[in-house]
């Protein structure tokens, strides 16, 4: 049992990345131990966060500064498409956008923490002749590099990213359901083209990518728990 726990034969998904980590020289996050649980960041998730976080941060900053529909072209246009960002909600002192901003801040902090952990503690996965080669970290490495984050640090980052993704997905669905159950009170005045290109597609991105993140990160958490359970099962007691 001791030997099995210290030298597990199975690793959480993706297994290929973990096996490559074992074959390569000890990574910066392994503290000299080559066999450790690892989290493998998804390139799709990191790309989405790098693109979306500046937009969310700008929106949150504007809301905290009490922006009006006249604050700039984006708000002036979008305020005519979605009245929750327009004069009707502003004059009615509707608190939905402010409440949403608070959630945005919490989510953004979680995502920023995740990106920091991946960048600061991520180890490049290489094989073959390039196994000993150290790749320079940068934006391209963060977006597309095959990397892992080992141990408790990687597990914490995984949990934070999963939680923030659930928050983003739930909040966005609430945003959509609010329109549905109010009879599309804030967006029902738009024609089909405006609604599709200026409301459905932009807001739909905050459903598609968080759903993907929840699925992939959740699958990794579940697989890790299954592996831990299978390794920790005691042997069948012998009959007396």
> Where in the sequence is the domain holding 202, given as residue range(s)?
40-220
| 13 falls within a domain | no
User: Which pLDDT belongs to residue 10?
Assistant: 43
Given a cut of 80, whether residue 234 has pLDDT beyond it is no
pLDDT tens per residue, range 144-172: 878 899 999 999 999 999 999 999 999 99
Mean per-residue pLDDT for 59-80? 68
* Whole-angstrom distance, CA of residue 174 vs CA of residue 190: 20
| 45 falls within a domain | yes
| 211 falls within a domain | yes
Number of folded domains in the chain? 1
| 213 falls within a domain | yes
* Whole-angstrom distance, CA of residue 22 vs CA of residue 30: 10
**How long is the chain?**
240
Mean per-residue pLDDT for 61-87? 73
| 191 falls within a domain | yes
User: Which pLDDT belongs to residue 79?
Assistant: 85
User: Which pLDDT belongs to residue 68?
Assistant: 58
| 6 falls within a domain | no
User: Which pLDDT belongs to residue 11?
Assistant: 41
| 32 falls within a domain | no
User: Which pLDDT belongs to residue 58?
Assistant: 84
Residues in contact with 99: Cβ distance below 8 Å, sequence separation at least 6, in sequence order: none
* Whole-angstrom distance, CA of residue 160 vs CA of residue 221: 12
* Whole-angstrom distance, CA of residue 27 vs CA of residue 34: 7
The three-class DSSP label of residue 57 is helix
Mean per-residue pLDDT for 171-189? 95
| 9 falls within a domain | no
Contact 148, 21 (CB under 8 A): yes
pLDDT tens per residue, range 5-35: 444 444 444 445 544 554 443 343 333 444 5
Element (H, E) at 39: strand 38-39
User: Which pLDDT belongs to residue 25?
Assistant: 36
């Amino acid at each position: 049992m001791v030997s099995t726990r210290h030298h597990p034969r199975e690793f959480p998904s993706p297994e290929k990345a973990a096996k490559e980590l074992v074959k390569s020289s000890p990574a910066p996050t392994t503290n000299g131990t080559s066999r450790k649980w690892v989290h493998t960041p998804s390139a799709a998730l990191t790309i989405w966060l790098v693109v979306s976080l500046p937009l969310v941060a700008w929106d949150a900053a504007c809301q905290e500064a009490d922006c009006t529909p006249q604050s700039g072209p984006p708000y002036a246009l979008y305020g005519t498409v979605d009245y929750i960002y327009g004069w009707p909600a502003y004059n009615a002192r509707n608190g939905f956008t402010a409440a949403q901003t608070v959630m945005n801040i919490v989510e953004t902090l979680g995502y920023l923490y995740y990106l920091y952990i991946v960048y600061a503690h991520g180890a490049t996965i290489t094989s073959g002749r390039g196994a000993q080669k150290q790749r320079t970290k940068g934006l391209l490495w963060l977006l597309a590099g095959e990397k892992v984050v080992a141990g408790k640090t990687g597990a914490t980052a995984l949990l934070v990213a999963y939680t923030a993704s659930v928050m983003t997905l739930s909040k966005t669905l609430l945003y959509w359901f609010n329109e549905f159950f109010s009879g599309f009170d804030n967006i029902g005045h738009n024609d089909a083209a405006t609604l599709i290109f200026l409301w459905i597609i932009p807001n739909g991105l905050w459903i598609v990518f968080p759903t993907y993140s929840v699925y992939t990160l959740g699958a990794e958490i579940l697989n890790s728990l299954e592996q831990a359970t299978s390794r920790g099962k005691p042997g069948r007691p012998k009959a007396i």
